[in-house]
Amino acid sequence: MGAATRMLTVGLAMAGAISAPAVAQPQNLRPEAQDGTGTRAVIETLSARLLAAPSATAVLEAWCAERGLAADPRILAVRVAGIDKAPTPLQRERLAVGPDESVRYRRVRLTCGTHVLSEADNWYVPGRLTPEMNAALDGTQAPFGAVVRPLKPSRRNLSLHMVWRPGEGTMPGPDAPLFSVEALLSADGVPFCEVAETYTGAVLARGER
């Protein structure tokens, strides 16, 4: 069993171990999601969909529509300015780039209506994208997954880490981190992006039907 597989196995086991009730309840949740058991089930459902899908953006778009989070269930990537993270040597190795090859960094909040569903770090190789894709990433609020969709990318999960613990005594608020996923995106076997995504308590919300 490889290191990435072991990390995912541990993370999924942690997800299955979530239990216990809590007190303060987040707003706009239906009753089944207002206790530890319901919250665990929602988190496990979303994390399983993300691990199985080639695009986190597509999963979040479907999630937003399914739970009625906005009249227009589009996902927007709101750029977080003033942050820059150089890729680590290990990330460069996973991306199969040399020490001098350009790797760009982009941090965004993925939103659906007024809900911030996740924060994502993207390290991507601009030379492996089209000029149009690079321009969209630089100048629009299009999510990374939507921009690179024409490449028909595959997604290899590197890790799943559960952050929220019901034993802490409170239900997660909309800004609370629930879990994080790291993954590598490739097209035709060539990696072009590494992502680190942290999903928030906003994914637990339900709109009024």
Residue 190 pLDDT > 90: yes
Distance from C-alpha of 129 to C-alpha of 80, rounded to nearest angstrom: 22
Contacts of 7 by beta carbon, 8 Å cutoff, 6+ apart:
158, 159, 160
Distance from C-alpha of 108 to C-alpha of 110, rounded to nearest angstrom: 6
Q: Name the residue among 150, 204, 209 with its Cα closest to residue 174.
A: 204
Is 22 domain-assigned? no
SS3 71: coil
Is 139 domain-assigned? yes
Q: Mean pLDDT score of the chain, rounded to an integer?
A: 84
Is 64 domain-assigned? yes
Q: Residues 155-184: pLDDT tens digits?
A: 999 999 999 987 666 788 999 999 999 999
Is 135 domain-assigned? yes
Is 2 domain-assigned? no
pTM value > 0.85: no
Is 6 domain-assigned? no
Number of structural domains in the chain = 1
* The token pair that represents 125 in the structure block: 């190789």
Q: Which domain holds residue 81?
A: 27-164+175-204
SS3 111: strand
Query: What do you get for the CA distance between the two ends of the chain, in Å?
Result: 45
Distance from C-alpha of 151 to C-alpha of 175, rounded to nearest angstrom: 32
Return the CATH number at 186.
Answer: 3.40.1410.10
**Residues 204 and 29: beta-carbon distance below 8 Å:** yes
Is 137 domain-assigned? yes
HSE (side-chain half, CA atoms, 13 Å) at 207: 16
Q: Residues 29-83: pLDDT tens digits?
A: 343 345 567 888 999 999 999 999 999 999 999 999 999 999 999 999 999 989 8
